[in-house]
Amino acid sequence: MTMRISKFLILLILVAVFSCKKEKSQLEKNTILENDFIEKSYQTIGKELFKNVNFTNWDTNAKPEYWDINESVQNAEKYVVDRDTLDLLLNGHEKELTYISQNVKIKKHTFYLVEAQIETNLKHNSPSGIFIRSKEGQIMSKIVFENKTKNIYRIIFNSKEEERIIFYLGYKEKEKGQIKIKSLTFKEIELNNNVYKSKIAQYFFDNQKLDFKNEKSFDKSVELIFRHTGELLVAKKRKDTLNLKKIIELKEELDENSYLIKYLKMPVEKTTNSFEEKIVFSGIEILKEFNIGTQRIELNKGKQRSHILLNYYNPFSAKWITIDPFYNSKISNLSKIEETGIDMLNYGGLSRSVEGLIKRHSKVETIIKQEKIISYPF
């Protein structure tokens, strides 16, 4: 009896060891894929630009050397905490902002990558995150943290004429919560706009021959992304065999909960129902795969949404571009829409009526949803 139990225990141990090896093997594969993406998408150059990047040296109990904090916070050591593991913990404050920041010297006309491994426990729709500001205070790049997760956050920006920037990590509003910094890095990179970690982004990039080399090609690539999204959405109704084959390829890569998958699964007779919603939500979803910043714009009449469109961020011009995909139009001034301020392009929409567009945008309440990221595509 004892021998049987011993054999059973040995078997359990062997199964556990084998499982650990298998799990480790998968982890190693994921690491290889991640490193392969990084090597092909961008290459880091030179040394670490943050001073005291690991928070090993401290001026006070709450202030890491070379880093700035909100010194107006009473008992700051309760809110900026050096943990035993050397992870930095930022506790949210109901009356004061909790953050760390550093003034960093950079080179002109150069690409930089900021990467941080962060654990968060924040309230719903918190705007807290990482912000890169010019010396005048203009936001050059940003990324908003997820509410309750452990994640690696990356943003890429170009210094342009700046020789110094202000790096800010922490709370954007006065709120309770926790932000734990597990690792942090700031390095110069060479950016390659031909390879993307996202298979969806790579699909669109290759199939539509996209180009993110300058301001003009960036805008054209966004137009092509929406045009192809529109083609996919109506492929079933138009019996478009070429795009129906592409949909089969895409379904293997897209998350089952994605907007585009949900819309593609709808019965053919519902293809054009609420099409403005379909193309905007799907298009935003694809732009997110490229790390392109977007702002959803809702037009409301009374308490109901009457129309939907979006802004996207062009990092080369450092401007938000307003497009109404349903009406295939780029709008120069959302607050005062006139025919002379409308460019008719091809965003995959179902209408090209300038009159219809102007009518949709008249006598409405405009709500612009805050962006999650401002970055160059990667």
Domain that holds residue 210: 199-374
d(CA 239, CA 244): 8
For residues 234 and 359, membership in a common domain is answered with yes
For residues 235 and 178, membership in a common domain is answered with no
For residue 260, tell me if it sits in a domain: yes
DSSP labels for 53-93?
TT---BSSSS-BTT-EE-TTSTTGGGTEEE-TTS-EEEEEE
pLDDT value of position 232: 98
pLDDT value of position 86: 73
Phi-psi region of 299 (alpha: psi -120 to 50; beta: other; left: phi over 0): beta
For residues 156 and 230, membership in a common domain is answered with no
pTM to 2 decimal places: 0.88
For residues 119 and 222, membership in a common domain is answered with no
For residue 43, tell me if it sits in a domain: no
pLDDT value of position 15: 53
Are the C-beta atoms of residues 331 and 324 closer than 8 Å to each other?
Answer: yes
For residue 23, tell me if it sits in a domain: no
For residues 209 and 144, membership in a common domain is answered with no
For residue 252, tell me if it sits in a domain: yes
For residue 120, tell me if it sits in a domain: yes
pLDDT value of position 230: 98
Are the C-beta atoms of residues 200 and 289 closer than 8 Å to each other?
Answer: yes
pLDDT value of position 25: 54
In DSSP terms, 187 is beta-bridged to 113
For residues 101 and 138, membership in a common domain is answered with yes
Angle at 39 between CA 34 and CA 43, to 5 degrees: 130
For residues 228 and 364, membership in a common domain is answered with yes
pLDDT tens sequence for the chain (378 residues): 555 555 555 555 555 555 554 454 544 554 555 555 566 789 999 899 999 999 999 999 999 999 999 999 999 999 999 877 679 999 999 999 999 999 999 999 999 999 999 999 998 889 999 999 999 999 999 999 999 999 999 999 999 999 999 999 999 999 999 999 999 999 999 999 889 989 999 999 999 999 999 999 999 999 999 999 999 999 999 999 999 999 998 988 888 889 999 999 999 999 999 999 999 999 999 999 999 999 999 999 988 999 999 999 999 999 999 999 999 999 999 999 999 999 999 999 999 999 999 999 999 999 999 999 999 999
Total domains in the fold of the chain: 2
